[in-house]
Amino acid sequence: MKELIHIVPDEKFIEMAVREFEIAAPGKNRILVYGKRRPLKYLTSLSVEFMGFSEMRKYLKSGNYKAVVLHWMNDVLLRLIQESPQGRGVLWIGWGIDYYEALIFRGNSAGLYLPKTRRQLAMKSFPLKPILSKAIKSARRIAGRQADYVSKYLDRLDYFAPVLDVEYDLVKAKNPDFKAQFLDWNYGTLEDDLYVEPGKSRLGDNVLLGNSASYTNNHLETFDFIENSFELDGRKLIVPLSYGDNDYADFVIRDGKKRFGSLLMPLTEFLPASDYAELVSSCGYAFMNHLRQQAVGNIVMLMLGGSKVYLNPANPFYTWVTARGGFLEQISLDSRAGSKMCLGPLPANVVARNQQIVVEHWSREASRRRTGKVVKELLGSD
């Protein structure tokens, strides 16, 4: 009997997770992918099993395992997990968007966007509107039955591991009946997955903006802030757009080219992880204008490399870093055209403190210590 059951999507973070859980509990992990057998894009080095709804429902009901780990959550998985008998631990490892809309913003997806982005959406000025309408409708449907949603479905969860501990507090504040205990766990280690060591990378002069072709990046407002506040002095403005919606990526590129011309460097193709890390290390400055926790891997690489990172202060990651004595610059909503500043580097002592925070939390040693505690909680001392 495999004691730990991982229900996973075909996403790039999963291989990191399986590696760490196998180190902590060798031979005790079974990896399940929901749905019909199909070619996989990311889970190429793992032994996975495909299960449809009926088969997975029957298996979960059997209780022939010690605990279930859900990587990502949706309505289907939430219904399936109800079949897991009491006494079998259930852990939800959240990614962000799977708990922000339903549990923190309570179905109000507009809370993810800044004013200009919201206005553009209302005017249907770019072609994401049909996709957004569907997502917002789904989230509002969940929010409309929020009390039942929490009591009937989420009560089956024993543990919850959001990306940041402060997000657990946000979920509890919005959903007082949420009973799952907090477990501290998330994906990746510095040594194995982020490819940056303090003092080993050459910090460049380029600028990184956002992490994906997702409207939650609030690219329009970030373009405004940079355009109104800073002289780029020939620096490349690197905008990752390979992950997300292609139509939105095209819109961002058109708008960015109008503003910054040849300085804009959109990334529309996936790069190997080590090549992407090298590109990030060429950026001494970064602007991440998310209102929720997002792009943490990018920000961690940037902090470790000594970059100056600008975040929206509403982002819980801003609170998380500054509460530990780290330093992040703020992106201001009130960025009107006027005299512009030159971008300048962080002082050495600030870089050192930011690096210390990152190492303390994301090092291989710290990650494996957390994974060991999670496994012990799920499987018991035996």
Find residue 266's DSSP bridge partners.
239
154, pLDDT greater than 60: yes
Q: Average pLDDT of 235-239?
A: 97
User: Which residue did the predictor score with more confidence, 148 or 9?
Assistant: 9
- Domain extent, residue 293, equals 190-362
pLDDT at 105 over 90: no
Looking at the fold, whether 152 and 246 belong to one and the same domain comes out as no
* Whole-prediction pTM: 0.86
The verdict on 256 and 321 lying in the same domain is yes
Q: 290 and 331 share a domain?
A: yes
Same domain? 103 vs 244:
no
Sign of the Cα torsion 97, 101, 104, 108 reads positive
| Residue 195 near residue 277 (C-beta atoms within 8 A) | yes
Q: Per mean pLDDT, which range of 24-28, 279-283, 288-292, 310-314 is the poorest? A: 279-283
240 and 203 both lie in a single domain: yes
Question: Is residue 211 within 8 Å of 191, Cβ to Cβ?
Answer: no
Is residue 146 predicted with pLDDT exceeding 70?
A: no
For residue 18, pLDDT over 60 is answered with yes
Q: What tokens does 196 get?
A: 């940056």
Q: What is the pLDDT of residue 381?
A: 61
DSSP-derived secondary structure letter, 244:
B
User: Is residue 364 a contact partner of residue 306, using CB atoms and an 8 Å limit?
Assistant: no
- Residues 271-300: tens digit of each pLDDT: 888 888 888 889 999 999 999 999 999 999
Provide the mean pLDDT of the chain: 88
User: CA nearest 7: which of 157, 138, 182?
Assistant: 157
Calculate mean pLDDT across residues 121-142.
Answer: 47
**Euclidean distance between CA atoms 308 and 287, whole angstroms:** 9
Phi, then psi, of 317 in degrees rounded to 5: -65, -30
Which two structure tokens, joined as six digits, stand for 93? Answer: 């490892």
Rounded mean pLDDT, 244-271: 93
pLDDT band at 143 (very low <50, low <70, confident <90, very high): very low
Answer yes or no: do 18 and 138 share one domain.
Answer: yes
Distance CA 19, CA 14 (A): 9
- Supply 322's token pair: 């500054």
Per-residue pLDDT at 68: 98
Higher pLDDT: 334 or 379? It is 379
Identify whether residues 151 and 24 lie together within a single domain: yes
So what's the pLDDT on residue 363?
Answer: 94
Residue reference for tokens 């009130």: 334
If one counts the domains in the chain, the total is 2
Burial 115-140 (b: 16+ CB within 10 A, else e): eebbebbeeeebebeeebeeebebbe
